[in-house]
Amino acid sequence: MREGERGTKMDSNEKDFAESLLRIFDNVLLTEGMALSKGYFSDLSIAELHTLNAIGPYDARTMTETANILGITVGTLTVAIDRLVKKKYVERQRDTKDRRIVRISLTRQGKLAYRMHSKFHRVLVKRIMDPLSEQEKEILTKTVTEIDAFVEEQYKKYSNGQHYKKIVRDDTEV
Amino acid sequence: MAVSKNKENKDGAKVPQNSASADNKEAIFDTLTDMLSELLDMPKTNFAPDTMLFEDLPLDSLQLYELVVDLETRYDIHISDEAIEMVQTIGDVVEMIFNAKN
């Protein structure tokens, strides 16, 4: 292969890769949204589900902890939690020792939604990984970890030191 | 995976009736089948330790998670998704809860 041809081939590969990556971002979210609207928890938005994920199925969290995980303000979270309490996915309790602290936790229905949603993620990963050989799985995992680290670096540049993995894709929807 | 019906511990020694924990395997089996009976609207006589959860029972994925969430609350345990994927029979669930409690 001549130098010029090689360059063109690389450019075309990179373009395909960039397009695939963006399509994956969009379509995973879209598929999640559609699966949700057709499932048992059709009254929840994807952003609300991610709020349930941030609260987690076990110990109660404070509003500040949860807002930090999601990378949103406590004010924005309060609005989101009001709606989730109304829909009976989340409950609020006052701390028994310090009444000023409000803790939030998932109701039975919230825990069910959390479990079903994490099943969606697991099935997605299983479908991607199952056809691959052990070596291919290893390479894919390593590459994805590297992409994650790179995106984290980019994220930090713009986020004023906020914790990575706390991106809420559409917090107006919450 | 069978559920031990007798009151013997691992070494085969008899465990006195009154010292049996409230969460022994028989009690767990009893609670679990109560929950299944209510969830699936089926009599308890339909459930045995070797009953296959998915082949023998009309248990869908939402009902499975209802059961998991209720068991976590009832026994104050955490049940991982990996553990759920391993269970096949009612006896497996009893074993999983028993191990998580002990």
Q: Provide the token pair at A52.
A: 């349930």
Query: Is B54 within 8 Å of B93 (Cβ atoms)?
Result: no
Q: What per-residue string of b and e applies to A45-63 under the rule 16 or more CB within 10 Å gives b? A: bbbbbbbbbbbbbeebbeb
The 10s digit of each residue's pLDDT in A145-170 is 998 888 888 888 887 666 665 444 33
Q: Which residue of A has its CA nearest to B80?
A: A115
User: CB distance A111–B81 less than 8 Å?
Assistant: no
Between A and B, how many residue pairs show a Cβ–Cβ distance under 8 A?
A: 25
CA distance B68 to chain A (A): 9
Q: Provide the token pair at A19.
A: 């397009």
- What are the extents of the domains in chain A? 1-38, 43-174
pLDDT, greater one: B102 or B73: B73
With a cut of 50, say whether residue B12 has pLDDT above it. Answer: no
With a cut of 50, say whether residue A173 has pLDDT above it. Answer: no
The continuous run of DSSP H or E covering A115 comes out as helix A108-129
- Does domain A43-174 fall under CATH 1.10.490.10? My reply is no
CA distance B42 to chain A (A): 22
The CATH superfamily assigned to B24-101 is: ACP-like (1.10.1200.10)
pLDDT, residue A121, reads: 83
Catalytic residue among B60, B70, B76, B81: B60
Average pLDDT, chain B: 80
The continuous run of DSSP H or E covering A139 comes out as helix A134-158
Q: Provide the token pair at A167.
A: 């991106």
Is residue B83 less than 8 Å (CB to CB) from chain A? Answer: no
pLDDT, residue B74, reads: 92
pLDDT, residue B82, reads: 85
Q: Which residues of B touch A122 (CB under 8 A)?
A: 81
The 10s digit of each residue's pLDDT in A61-95 is 999 999 988 888 999 999 999 999 999 999 999 88
With a cut of 50, say whether residue B33 has pLDDT above it. Answer: yes
Q: Which residue has the tokens 């500040």?
A: A64
User: CB distance A116–B68 less than 8 Å?
Assistant: no
In whole angstroms, what is the distance from residue B60 CA to residue B54 CA? 8
Three-state secondary-structure class, residue A161: coil
